[in-house]
C-alpha cells in the first residue's frame, strides 16, 4: 500500500482548472453529472459542493486552490489529497458520458487539452513549468512551413540532406513564432542541437511522442502554453497561448486533411470550424497558420465569418503567392496529384483590439538544396513569413521629461508614500470591524494591499502617476477574493493578514511586476525571500495562535480591481489618496480635482442642470442621515449593523433630489414589517414624515428627514450580523424571495460597476450614465409603473452599449459614448435579449409580453423591462431613433445637445390628451394616493390600448402642485365616437376602482378629463 502511495505521489496531478476546462470542452462528457467539492468554513462539514456548470460563470467567486475534489455520481474522479485522476485513462463512471454518441468519430469532436511546453535548461530540454508572464514585442515575425516528412517517396526527397538547409532557412528568418507541419523526430533532434533554438520554447519534448510518423511543432522566443486538439489519432492540431502587452494572443497551428483522403473538402471544413469555434471563446487576438491543403476559397468563408483576414492578399493583391508550385519546385512536381499550383499555406489574423496589423508577408526557402543540381528542394512547399506590427504604444517615459524619468529611476525611496490597491468601499465594513479592534495602524492606513512601498517622494508623485499611466494602459482589470487568514511572525508580535487570490490567475503578480519595472529602487516588496507576497493586514497579535483564533470566522469577500492608488502622508497624518490610475484605459485622476472624463462644456452644463452631482456638503449631510438611521436599526436589533446602499447611491450617481435607498440585514425569522415599524417608532422625533408600505412585494419604510427622502428595506440575512457584501449568488436558496430581491439589487449594481470598470474610468462611466438617465427622464420614458424602462434597466443598456465603444480619436469622450449608446440600442433587433453575461442565450421572449428584454445579471435572471406595452415599446423605439439622428448632428456641430434633451410635455404636444388629476387634503395623503395610481396605471394603459384600439404615450411623472397632481396621457389615432365610448367605459371602471380602494372619497378626488385640440 505504501509503495502504491509513493508511486501515486510521483505522478503529476493535473490542475483543478485543467480538469474543469476538460469537462466543459469535451463533448463526450455529460457536464451536468459533475460536481465540485470545495473548502467552505461556513459549512459544518468544512466542504460544500456545487455543479460544475455553475462554477466560474464569467467571474471567479471561489479560488481554484480551494477545489478539493470533483465527483461524478458516487465516484471521485479527481481528488487533490488522494491524488486521484480518472480522466488520464478515461476510467470514468458510465454517467460521466453523454448518451447520444454513436461512433468514435463524434467522440473526438472539439476536445482541446493542455500539453507541456519545453525549454532548454542546465544543458537539457525540460518541461517548462513556470508561470508565463507578459511580453512586450514591438512586432511579431510568424513563420509557417510544411517541411515534408519522408512518409512518402523516401528515396526521392532525401530528408537527411534537406534537414540542415531547412534549419539554416529557419534561423535566417529570425522568427518569433515558428509553426512546422510534417515535422519528424530527426528534424526535432537536429533543431534541439541548435544554439538559437535553445534560446526558444518548444511544444514537443525530446521523445517526440506526437511526431510518429510526423506532426506539428511550435517554436517561440517567448514562453507560452499550448493546447492540443486531436481530430483523430493521426491528425492533431496545436494552439499556442501568449500574453503580449497584457492581452491574450493565440496561434492555431494547422495541417488540414489533403485531397488524398475521401470527402476531403467537408473534412477540412469540419476541422477548421472546430478550431475557429475554440478560438472564438478565448479572449484576445488570434492567428491561424499552417497548411490548409486547399486551393478553394470556400474553406475560408467560415474563417471570415469569425473575423479572420487572410494576410497575403491584403498585402499582395496581384500576386497569387503560390506556396505549392509544381512548375518551380521539382519535389512539388513529383508529389502533386493534379499538377496545379496553389496557395495552400496561409496565415490568418484576427485582431479585434486592433493591437496587431499585418505589415509584411513573403515567401522564402524557395531555392533547391545546394549541390543537388536543382532536383532537391527543401520541401514540396515554400515557407511563409508574416510580420505583425504592434499598434499599441510601448511603455516609455512619453508623458514626462527624460530628467524626471532618470530621477524616478534612481530615487531613494521614502516610507511616506506607496502604491496600493484599495478594496471597494462595499467590502470595507467586513475588513474595518476587525482592523478597528486589532490594527494599531487603523487610523494611519486605509484597507489596502501594498504593491510598492517605500515609494517616491511627494514631489515626484504626479510624474510617477503619468509613468504608470503608460505602463498599465491595456492591462485588464481583474477580480480579487480575500480568501484565508495568514500570519507573519515578528520579534515582538504576530501580524494577521488575509490572502488575496486573483482571477485571472497571476493578474495581481503581473500588475506588481509591471510597476516594479518602472521603479527599480523601490523594490522592498519584491526583494523579500519568496518574492512579492500580497496580503491585506488585519492587525497585530500576541502570537500566531491568537491571530488564528480571532480570524477564524473570516468569510471570503470579493471585489473588482480596476485601478491602483498612489498614496502619501505628511508627518504623522494618515495616508491619503493623491492619484488614481485606471487599468486598461490608463486614465489618471488627481484627488480633490474634478474628474475630467472628456465631456463637452455644453453637455456638462446640461448634466449639471438636469442630473447634478452631489456636492461635498450634500454628501456629508447624507452620511449623517444614514448614520442616524443606522443607529436606530442597531438599537432595534440590539447590536451594531451596517446598512448597504442600493440604487443610484450605490452607483454613486445620486442627485440632491435622489432618494437615499438603504437595506438593513436582520436575523432570519424576524418579521420585516415588525422590524420596520419599530425603527419608525425609534425615529419618531427625527423624521418629518414616515409611511410604512406593506402592500408591495418588499415592505419599505419611507421617511422624509430634513427634506430628504429615505427608503429603508430589511432583508433576513443568513449570516447576520455579517455585512451583506459577503453574500454570493449560490446563497439564494437560503433567502426568502423578498429579501433576495432586495439583496440582488446591491449585487447587480456592483456587477455593473465591475463590468464598466473593465472598459472605462469610473468618472467617465458615471458621467455617461448620468447623461443617459437624464435624457430618459427629460423625454419622460422612465419607470416600470408607467409602462416604460426603469432607471436600472437604462443602466444595464448603457453598460451593454459601452462594451462595443471604440474611441474615435484614441481618447474616451462622454459625448461620443452617449451617441454610440443611441446608435447601438436603436438598431438592436428586439426581442433578442440584451444582458451583461452569457445567460441571454437561453432566454426565451414571451410574445406580446417581452417586447424589449433587458436581463438582470444576478439569479434568478429575468427581464427587468417587464411592464412594456405595444404602445410604450413603440414610443421608446421612436425616441431612440430620434436621439441617434440628433446625436450624430450634435457631434458634427449641426445641432445642440440641448435639443436632444428637450423635455417632452404631453399637455403642449398632444392633439388628444387624457388628464388624470388627483386632489387630496394634504401632501402625505397625496403621496399615498399617487402611489396607488402608479401601481394601477398599467391596467389602465392596457385597457386603453386594447379596447379603444389606440396608441398611447403616458408621461412618466406627475405634475405636482401642493396637494394636487396631474398625469398626462397622449392618445394617438383617429378619435371616433365608438372609441370615445370605449375610453369612457375604461375611465369609469378605473375611477370606480380608485374610490373602492380609497374608501374615503372626501379625502381625495380623481378627475379624468379628455382634452382635444
Least Cα distance to 22 among 75, 87, 81 occurs for: 87
Q: Is the pLDDT of residue 352 over 80?
A: no
Report CA 919 to chain centroid distance, whole Å.
49
Mean pLDDT across 809-830 = 88
Q: Which helix (H) or strand (E) holds 661?
A: strand 660-666
Mean pLDDT across 44-59 = 68
List the alpha helices (DSSP H) in 543-615.
544-550, 601-610
Q: Is the pLDDT of residue 268 over 50?
A: yes
The grid coordinates listed for 908 are 403642449
Residue 109 is predicted with a pLDDT of 36
Is 217 within 8 Å of 190 (Cβ atoms)? no
On the question of a cis peptide bond just before residue 213, with omega within 30 degrees of 0, the verdict is: yes
Which residues, in sequence order, are bridge partners of residue 226? 115, 240
Rg (CA), the chain: 33
The CA distance from 835 to 184, in Å, is 49
Is 826 within 8 Å of 883 (Cβ atoms)? yes
Residue 555 is predicted with a pLDDT of 85
Q: Is the pLDDT of residue 8 over 50?
A: no
Instruction: Give the contacts of 310 (CB within 8 A, at least 6 positions apart).
Output: 300, 303, 346, 347, 348
Is 749 within 8 Å of 796 (Cβ atoms)? no
Instruction: State what percent of residues in the chain have pLDDT above 70.
Output: 89
Q: Is the pLDDT of residue 470 over 90?
A: no
DSSP label of 375: S
DSSP label of 450: E
451: phi then psi, degrees, rounded to nearest 5: -105, -45
Instruction: Give the contacts of 13 (CB within 8 A, at least 6 positions apart).
Output: 80, 83, 85
Mean pLDDT across 694-710 = 86
Mean pLDDT of the chain: 84
SS3 913: strand
Q: Is the pLDDT of residue 840 over 70?
A: no
The CA distance from 277 to 255, in Å, is 17
Q: 516 vs 144, 447, 456, 536, CA distance in Å?
A: 36, 21, 12, 19
Q: Is the pLDDT of residue 332 over 70?
A: yes
Is 237 within 8 Å of 229 (Cβ atoms)? yes
Least confident segment among 388-402, 409-423, 461-475: 388-402
Q: Is the pLDDT of residue 2 over 60?
A: no
Least confident segment among 95-109, 220-234, 276-290: 95-109
Mean pLDDT across 865-883 = 93
Order of strands across the sheet with 75-79? 47-51, 34-39, 67-72, 75-79, 84-85
Is 171 within 8 Å of 136 (Cβ atoms)? no
881-886: long-range pairs with CB below 8 Å, 24+ = 881/826, 883/775, 883/822, 883/826, 884/819, 884/822, 884/823, 884/826, 884/827
Mean pLDDT across 562-589 = 86
Tens-place pLDDT, residues 294-311? 876 666 777 888 889 999
SS (HEC) of 735-780: CCHHHHHHHHHHHHHHHHHHHHHCCCCHHHHHHHHHHHHHHHHHCC
Report CA 482 to chain centroid distance, whole Å.
19
Residue carrying the nine cell digits 459549512? 43
DSSP label of 476: P
Report CA 778 to chain centroid distance, whole Å.
31
Report CA 416 to chain centroid distance, whole Å.
35
Is 972 within 8 Å of 951 (Cβ atoms)? yes
- Whole-model pTM above 0.85? no
The CA distance from 213 to 232, in Å, is 14
Q: Is the pLDDT of residue 59 over 50?
A: no
Count of residues in the chain: 1013
Residue 132 is predicted with a pLDDT of 67
Mean pLDDT across 524-539 = 78
The CA distance from 10 to 32, in Å, is 32
On the question of a cis peptide bond just before residue 721, with omega within 30 degrees of 0, the verdict is: yes
Better-predicted residue by pLDDT, 403 or 872:
872
Residue 471 is predicted with a pLDDT of 80
Report for 85-99, 312-326, 690-704: range of highest mean pLDDT: 312-326
From the number of C-beta atoms within 10 Å of its C-beta (0-12, 13-18, 19+), residue 665 rates as: buried
Better-predicted residue by pLDDT, 408 or 431:
431
Is 377 within 8 Å of 331 (Cβ atoms)? yes
The CA distance from 658 to 668, in Å, is 30
Residue 675 is predicted with a pLDDT of 94
Residue 535 is predicted with a pLDDT of 94
Is 218 within 8 Å of 177 (Cβ atoms)? yes
Q: Is the pLDDT of residue 819 over 70?
A: yes
Residue 775 is predicted with a pLDDT of 96
Tally Cβ neighbours within 10 Å of residue 784.
Answer: 19
The grid coordinates listed for 845 are 421572449
Tens-place pLDDT, residues 946-1001? 888 888 999 888 888 888 888 888 988 888 888 888 888 888 888 888 887 776 55
Least confident segment among 17-26, 707-716, 829-838: 17-26
SS3 344: coil
316: phi then psi, degrees, rounded to nearest 5: -130, 70
Least confident segment among 417-431, 652-666, 751-765: 751-765
Least Cα distance to 703 among 714, 691, 717, 716 occurs for: 691
Tens-place pLDDT, residues 141-193? 999 999 998 877 777 888 889 999 999 999 999 999 999 999 999 999 999 99
Residue carrying the nine cell digits 476546462? 21
DSSP label of 962: T
Q: Which helix (H) or strand (E) holds 899?
A: helix 897-900
From the number of C-beta atoms within 10 Å of its C-beta (0-12, 13-18, 19+), residue 859 rates as: middle
Least confident segment among 177-181, 501-505, 809-813: 809-813
Q: 457 vs 353, 397, 411, 419, 469, CA distance in Å?
A: 37, 18, 8, 12, 18
Amino acid at each position: 500500500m505504501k509503495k502504491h502511495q509513493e508511486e501515486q505521489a510521483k505522478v503529476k496531478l493535473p490542475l483543478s482548472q485543467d480538469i474543469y476546462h476538460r469537462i466543459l470542452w469535451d463533448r463526450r462528457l455529460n457536464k451536468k453529472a459533475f460536481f465540485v467539492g470545495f473548502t467552505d468554513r461556513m459549512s459544518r462539514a468544512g466542504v460544500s459542493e456545487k455543479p460544475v456548470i455553475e462554477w466560474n460563470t464569467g467571474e471567479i467567486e471561489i479560488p481554484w486552490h480551494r477545489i478539493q475534489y470533483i465527483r461524478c455520481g458516487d465516484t471521485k474522479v479527481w481528488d487533490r489529497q488522494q491524488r486521484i485522476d480518472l480522466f488520464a485513462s478515461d476510467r470514468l463512471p458510465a454517467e460521466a458520458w453523454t448518451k447520444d454518441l454513436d461512433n468514435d468519430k463524434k467522440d473526438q469532436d472539439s476536445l482541446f487539452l493542455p500539453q507541456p511546453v519545453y525549454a532548454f535548461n542546465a544543458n537539457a530540454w525540460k518541461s517548462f513549468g513556470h508561470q508565463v508572464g507578459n511580453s512586450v514585442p514591438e512586432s511579431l515575425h510568424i513563420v509557417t512551413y510544411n517541411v515534408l516528412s519522408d512518409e512518402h517517396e523516401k528515396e526521392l526527397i532525401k530528408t537527411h540532406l534537406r534537414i540542415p538547409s531547412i534549419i539554416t532557412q529557419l534561423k535566417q528568418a529570425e522568427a518569433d513564432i515558428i509553426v512546422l507541419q510534417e515535422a519528424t523526430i530527426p528534424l526535432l533532434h537536429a533543431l534541439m542541437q541548435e544554439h538559437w533554438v535553445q534560446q526558444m520554447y518548444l511544444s514537443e519534448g525530446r521523445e517526440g511522442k506526437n511526431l510518429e510518423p510526423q506532426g506539428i511543432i511550435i517554436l517561440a522566443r517567448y514562453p507560452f502554453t499550448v493546447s492540443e486538439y486531436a481530430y483523430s489519432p493521426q491528425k492533431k492540431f496545436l494552439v499556442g497561448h501568449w500574453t503580449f502587452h497584457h492581452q491574450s494572443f493565440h496561434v492555431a497551428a494547422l495541417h488540414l486533411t489533403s485531397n488524398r483522403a475521401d470527402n476531403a473538402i467537408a473534412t477540412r471544413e469540419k476541422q477548421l470550424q472546430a478550431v475557429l469555434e475554440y478560438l472564438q471563446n478565448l479572449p484576445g487576438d488570434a492567428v491561424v497558420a499552417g497548411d490548409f491543403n486547399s486551393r478553394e476559397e470556400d474553406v475560408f468563408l467560415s474563417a471570415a465569418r469569425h473575423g479572420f483576414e487572410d494576410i497575403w492578399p491584403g498585402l499582395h493583391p496581384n500576386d497569387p503567392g503560390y506556396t505549392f508550385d509544381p512548375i518551380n519546385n521539382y519535389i512539388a512536381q513529383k508529389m502533386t496529384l493534379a499538377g496545379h499550383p496553389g496557395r495552400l499555406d496561409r496565415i490568418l489574423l484576427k485582431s479585434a483590439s486592433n493591437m496587431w496589423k499585418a505589415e509584411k508577408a513573403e515567401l522564402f526557402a524557395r531555392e533547391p538544396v545546394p549541390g543537388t543540381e536543382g532536383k532537391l528542394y527543401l520541401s514540396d512547399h515554400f515557407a511563409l513569413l508574416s510580420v505583425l506590427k504592434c499598434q499599441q504604444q510601448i511603455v516609455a517615459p512619453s508623458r514626462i521629461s527624460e530628467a524626471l524619468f532618470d530621477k524616478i529611476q534612481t530615487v531613494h525611496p521614502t516610507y511616506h508614500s506607496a502604491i496600493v490597491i484599495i478594496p471597494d468601499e462595499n467590502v470595507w465594513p467586513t475588513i474595518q470591524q476587525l482592523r478597528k479592534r486589532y490594527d494599531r495602524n487603523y487610523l494611519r492606513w486605509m484597507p489596502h494591499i501594498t504593491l510598492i512601498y517605500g515609494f517616491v517622494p511627494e514631489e515626484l508623485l504626479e510624474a510617477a502617476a503619468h509613468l504608470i499611466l503608460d505602463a498599465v494602459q491595456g492591462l485588464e482589470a481583474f477580480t480579487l477574493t480575500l480568501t484565508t487568514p495568514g500570519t507573519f511572525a515578528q520579534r515582538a508580535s504576530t501580524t494577521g493578514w488575509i490572502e488575496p487570490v486573483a482571477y485571472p490567475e497571476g493578474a495581481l503578480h503581473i500588475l506588481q511586476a509591471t510597476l516594479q519595472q518602472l521603479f527599480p529602487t523601490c523594490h522592498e516588496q519584491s526583494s523579500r525571500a519568496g518574492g512579492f507576497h500580497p496580503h491585506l493586514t488585519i492587525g497585530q497579535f500576541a502570537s500566531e495562535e491568537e491571530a488564528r483564533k480571532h480570524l477564524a470566522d473570516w468569510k471570503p469577500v470579493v471585489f473588482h480591481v480596476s485601478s491602483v492608488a498612489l498614496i502619501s502622508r505628511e508627518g504623522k497624518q494618515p495616508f491619503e489618496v493623491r492619484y488614481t490610475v485606471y487599468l486598461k484605459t490608463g486614465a489618471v485622476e488627481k484627488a480633490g480635482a474634478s474628474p475630467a472624463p472628456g465631456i463637452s462644456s455644453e453637455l456638462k452644463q446640461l448634466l449639471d442642470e438636469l442630473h447634478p452631482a452631489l456636492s461635498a456638503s450634500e454628501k456629508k449631510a447624507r452620511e449623517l442621515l444614514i448614520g442616524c438611521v443606522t443607529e436606530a436599526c442597531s438599537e432595534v436589533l440590539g447590536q451594531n449593523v451596517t446598512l448597504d446602499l442600493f440604487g443610484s447611491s450605490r452607483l454613486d450617481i445620486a442627485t440632491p433630489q435622489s432618494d437615499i435607498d438603504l437595506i438593513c440585514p436582520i436575523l432570519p425569522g424576524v418579521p420585516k414589517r415588525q422590524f420596520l415599524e419599530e425603527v419608525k417608532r425609534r425615529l419618531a422625533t427625527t423624521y418629518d414624515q414616515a409611511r410604512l408600505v406593506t402592500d408591495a412585494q418588499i415592505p419599505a419604510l419611507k421617511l422624509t428627514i430634513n427634506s430628504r427622502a429615505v427608503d429603508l428595506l430589511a432583508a433576513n440575512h443568513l449570516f447576520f450580523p455579517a455585512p451583506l457584501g459577503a453574500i454570493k449568488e449560490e446563497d439564494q436558496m437560503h433567502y426568502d424571495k423578498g429579501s433576495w430581491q432586495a439583496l440582488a439589487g446591491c449585487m447587480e449594481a456592483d456587477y455593473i460597476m465591475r463590468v464598466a470598470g473593465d472598459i472605462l474610468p469610473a468618472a467617465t462611466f458615471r458621467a455617461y450614465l448620468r447623461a443617459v438617465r437624464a435624457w430618459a427622464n427629460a423625454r419622460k420614458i422612465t419607470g416600470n409603473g408607467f409602462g416604460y424602462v426603469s432607471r436600472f434597466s437604462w443602466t444595464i443598456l448603457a453598460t451593454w452599449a459601452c462594451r462595443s465603444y471604440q474611441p474615435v480619436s484614441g481618447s474616451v469622450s462622454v459625448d461620443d459614448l452617449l451617441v454610440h449608446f443611441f446608435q447601438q440600442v436603436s438598431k438592436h433587433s428586439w426581442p433578442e435579449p440584451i444582458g451583461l453575461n452569457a445567460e441571454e442565450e437561453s432566454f426565451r421572449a414571451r410574445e406580446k409580453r417581452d417586447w424589449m428584454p433587458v436581463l438582470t445579471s444576478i439569479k434568478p435572471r429575468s427581464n427587468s423591462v417587464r411592464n412594456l406595452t405595444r404602445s410604450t415599446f413603440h414610443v421608446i423605439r421612436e425616441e431612440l431613433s430620434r436621439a441617434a439622428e440628433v446625436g450624430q448632428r450634435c457631434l458634427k456641430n449641426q445641432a445642440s445637445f440641448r435639443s436632444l434633451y428637450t423635455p417632452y410635455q404631453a399637455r403642449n404636444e398632444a392633439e388628444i390628451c387624457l388628464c388624470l388629476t388627483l386632489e387630496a387634503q394634504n401632501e402625505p395623503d397625496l403621496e399615498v394616493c399617487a402611489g396607488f395610481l402608479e401601481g394601477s396605471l398599467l391596467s389602465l394603459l392596457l385597457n386603453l390600448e386594447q379596447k379603444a384600439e389606440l396608441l398611447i404615450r403616458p408621461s412618466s411623472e406627475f405634475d405636482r402642485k401642493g396637494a394636487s397632481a396631474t398625469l398626462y396621457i397622449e392618445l394617438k389615432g383617429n378619435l371616433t365616437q365608438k372609441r370615445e365610448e370605449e375610453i369612457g367605459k375604461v375611465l369609469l371602471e378605473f375611477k370606480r376602482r380608485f374610490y373602492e380602494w380609497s374608501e374615503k372619497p372626501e379625502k381625495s378626488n380623481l378627475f379624468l378629463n379628455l382634452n382635444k385640440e
